[in-house]
A and B are shown apart, each in its own frame.
Chain A
Amino acid sequence: MSRVARLGAFIVATLAVLAAGVFIIGSKEYLFSSTYRLRAQFENVAGLANGADVQVGGVHSGTVTGIELPKKPGNKVTVIMELARSTHAIIKQDSVASIETEGMLGNQYVAISFGSAGQADVRDGEIIQSVPPLELGELLAKTNAILDSSQQAVLNTTLATAHLNSISAKIDSGQGTVGALVNDKQLYDNLEQTTTTLHDTMQQAQIGVTDFQENMEALKHNFFLSGYFKKRGYEDSSDLAANRVAELPQALPEKTFTYAARQLFDGRDSARMKDQKTLNEAGDFLAQTQFGVAVVVVSTGMDGDSQKDLVLTEARAMVIREYLVENFGFDDSQLKTLGMGKQAGANLEADWGSIQILIYPAGTEVPAGKPAPAVTSSTTGADRPVQVTAVATQKP
């Protein structure tokens, strides 16, 4: 090999090494691929060095090309990064730069998060958002605080356990009520005996009440008292509620029979009927017609005590219903009562109140039963003379 050839070979070989080196380093510095520049500002870069990695999604995608101290106090340190063009599609306006450490003591690098799909692209040289780096010292301070509070928690737990210990020791040794309950058999026996006695007493009381009811029933039929019940027109107040409804059905009545109370009853305050035959027309109609539901509606004029009048109207309705059910053949569950109490306007005082028997066609829904007697008001309309807009008030 000639001298010149040998020299040429040497030069080519060593320059090849140089070229390889340049390309290896160049690929790290992104000198030979298209790049763009981004900036981020930090209070503190925690020892980040020029030439440090920039990672996007954990992939090496760029280099830190400059770190500039602020020109005046109060500004932030600017980190300039050169990023591969390929990351431009994923870094958006809302991407965040952070300074991270490889492992506990490794190199610092900048990590940039992916942007959201809807956000605008970043421009060359733009400043993106950043989060301050987590420094080891800061981390240790936080850990210290956590350790302090957990120590306190452990102390509290220890204290609570000691208290529990003391309580269970006291229970065990029979101190206090719970201790006595747990430890004293006699107390338990006494308690059981008491309960048994109480049970017996209750049974006897029930028998006593039944006897009293029978006595009362007998008393009602006694010669001296029967006059009162006769004059009142009915014997048992509890029967008043048996067929009572809360309101009239929504449908229009098929037929309406109207009577004045004076025609039917003994006196202004009485529910004792004097001329039952007046009702026969209505009774015949009920017996011959397939009706859905019929309601006996009774009301009084405006004078007198409201509460008493309410009871009176309910009693009158019940008495009329009883008469109709006993003397005419139809399904008695379809005949209901409704005592309206005092109703302004429609009733003449001279009539002692009015009675209506409203008969609704087949298929009419039977209204719900009325749970407690109510005072209602207002009357309107010609074909529905008594309209109820159920305003319930509690009985005192």
Chain B
Amino acid sequence: MMINFTSSSAKRLERMRTVQCEALCRMAADSSVLLGLVEEFVSGQVDSKSTETAAGVKAGQFTVLQLVEALGLSLTSSQPQTRARGVQLLSQVLLECFSSLSENEVEVLIAFYENRLKDHYVITPHVLQGFKALTKCSVLPPGSAVSILRSIFQDVHVQSLMLAERSCVYNILINLMESREQELKGLGADFVFGFVQSVDGERDPRNLLLAFQVARNIVNKGYDLGKFVEELFEVTSCYFPIDFSPPPNDPLGITHEDLVLCLRAVLTGTPRFSEFLLPLIIEKLDSDVQSAKVDSLQTLAACRQTYSHKEFAEFLPGLWSSIRREVFETASERVESAGLSALGTITSCLSRSVLDSDSEDALQVFLNLVLKDCQHHLCEPDLKLVWPSAKLLQAANGASYRASLIVTSAVIPALLEQYNNRTECAERRTLLEVIQGFVLPTPLSRPAEGEESVFVPFQQSLASVVFSALSESSVGLQVTATRVLAALGQQAGLFTSPDVEKAVDHLTRLSLEEEDSQLSLAVEECSGSLAHLHPKAFISRMIPRLKEEIFSDPATVSERLSQYNGAVRQRCVMVLASVSSQASVVTESAPVLLQVVASAHEGSSGFSVEEVISVCISLEKIAQHTRDTEEIGQFFNDIIIPRLFGLVLKAVLLSDRSPLTDEAVLSAIVPVISTACAGLKTELASHMASQAVNLFLNGDVSFLPENDFPSQIQLLQSHAESRGPSKLVCLLMACVCSFPRNVDIPEIDRLLVQLEELSCTSPHVFAYTFAAKCFAGLVNKRAAGKALDAVLERVLKRISVELENVSSTQRTQAFTLLLWVAKALLLRYHPLSTVLTDKLFALLSDPELGSKVADGFCVLMSDSPDVLNRNCHADVRIMYRQRFFAENSSKLVHGFNSEEQEKKSCYLKALSHIVNNLPRQVQLTELPALLPLLLEALSCPDQEVQLSTLSCLQPVLLDPPAALNNQLEALFTRLLALTTSPAMKVKIASIRCVHALSHLPEHMVLPFRARVLKALALPLDDIKRLVRKEAVSARAEWFLLGSPGGR
């Protein structure tokens, strides 16, 4: 036993010894590895060894302490280069491993580095790197931030360091300010002084961005500036205004704008700089350099947040005279708008001052200055300075409520008096336009709760001026007056109800009597905005009057207004639509419009087809409100839609001559119904859906008013005679294809079968196209599944059979159905869509259908206005166009290349339709591949292809992709050849493209200048003025290219 025991314990001892030995050996090995690395780095100058060492430290192979020990010899070497190399290794390792250091280690290292700063100058850069690593440590011991900075400020002259080391110092500051704000603040003004000293003289833009960041932190975070306010200002403001243009190719990625914004944040960051900044701005505003002026003014405007009236006080006269001079004399809009916003800033800062009893109100004093210099110019409405003066006053006026009280009380009475004294319309118009600028309050000057509008004192006189202007004969004056009226009407408490009534009367009169299109538009807008607030006045005064006018006997009207009767009706109809945004108005106005449709059907009052169409457009405009107002939806559901259906049905079934059977009218009714149905809430929509389906499938007319229809009506049967009821399928489409997707369409399968039949067999374009669209609209929204698959399989089979039968008379019908179903499936990314579009591609070479198919790609790629768009809640996936293009462009190119010469144009046409509808971003990326084909298309003799390609090229040329560079020669040759095309439109489009090319970088297009100028001289003498006009503007740009003062 004993022996056994001893022997086993001896074995254990033995084993322990081996383990220890192995560990020792490994340590020895590790330390020799480390020594090797150090040796290679320091003496061998192998830079990559630092990463290996860092990796070793990270992996726990050796500690930082061991590294320092291993560095021992190099750090104590008598050669400064060797010592530097040693420190460099340590710093580089620390930069990678700073996060794993302990507080003790950091403390020791800091002490070491601080000491090294006093060593030879070649070591300093590496010490700074070390500090940078240590300042990123989260375990920085208390007090060390201060001590690091003290030693840097004391021992390093930052500006004699290299670029990277200076950047290192700024980074140390940024790191410490982030993590040790309280400690640094303890340094007091010394910190600011140290920073000022280290940054003084910096020139590199990268470092300046860092330095500005430090400075901004200093002023924003409340560091003690002590007596160094001026020094800190000096050391940053010496860069103002920034003059920097990035080197070519922009290797730094720093823009002029970056520097400007960064510096501006420093300079405007504290009110303590104001006594230095404001004189500096005044001085720089005298500069000849426009960008300096703009920068100065924008800097002034940026003081809005930090300054109060105290800062501005003593500089107000100087600032004002500089701003005034700039706005009065400049030719540049940028200077003007910067000046106006600077004035706004000053005014709003002054408005924040607290009034006290014994001193003057600073705002009042300043605005008196502004008023004194500007107001008298307002009395000279025909001279140039009236506008700059008005803009200055308006900028001050919009800065605060208090300011607007002061300005309006001085300016408005004077303007009103001027208006009444002047007699010329042009002058009155200018005055009224100036008034218009004062009338709308800005967000800053809007009256607060409990304050009343600043215009209340002038309410009477303003209203009377506006009304008198409305009765003038000058259109310009009337337009301005309408705008002022709309602006006044929107502010509470400015209009009494007699005023509103008077305004409504004026608007009614203007819509009945005035011809000018600009004025009509202004009247519509104004009526729309006022009717939203005062519906009653419009219901009682305007609508009856308009109704009377619409239905007045053309014979009596023609005596009064000769040929303008149609135009008057047209305007009345438009105004009716624009005032109808409230349910109470709609219930009055929409029936009037419906009555027009009814009497057009009956043939009374002599309404033309065009008039009925414009009524439909108005109804559509009103129908858009069903979306937001439920009562309006209810009204359309109960009254308007059934009445429209009833009227059209009656027209189609009973009378042959009714204008309602006209296809143009039917197409105009479609959007009315579709817009209304799209806005219905789910319950109403389901109800409407079942009514419509019942009507079309079963001939159930019970929901229609004036129910006197024949008992057996079949609306979805194909009829040989052209006025058959089959064209009503467009109304079915408008209705059932527009509901939200969660609305179930009853008996949808039967409906689809009948629609398919109609679209394949009807001989009439209108009927079979709408049947196909309706079919497609339903298929697009139908949930995926067996039912849908069955429908698609059936219809595809039928289409194939029809198309393959070359002698069939119904191939066009089959193609139309194919096109629309393809679109329906393409939009929702249905897997079958490729099958269908491939069929379309194959048809491009069909001798009979080819050209139609090419145009069909336009249908496929563009938004269709009446069906399959997002407004009718269709299932439209984003970027379906890109997807389609990506999948199919190669097929087109291939088809084009393998086709015979005569048939190529179909491919080009299809291609240009597709590219034309792609989003610009995609066009740009795809252009390189397509450019040769598009150039080919330009030389294709088909004018339609030329036009379509030009219209697709022109927007691309405004911002051309790099791929264009190699093709410029070919492009210019073809474009310039087209400028003498026999077709006017081609000439115009090609000249526009040539015009666009002048905006390309000068070095690319300058070689073509002489050639272009010579070629464009020909269209200058074209027989068509429109062509000459394009040629003149394109040639003017090309003359400026490469010429001094040009571009």
| A and B interact | no
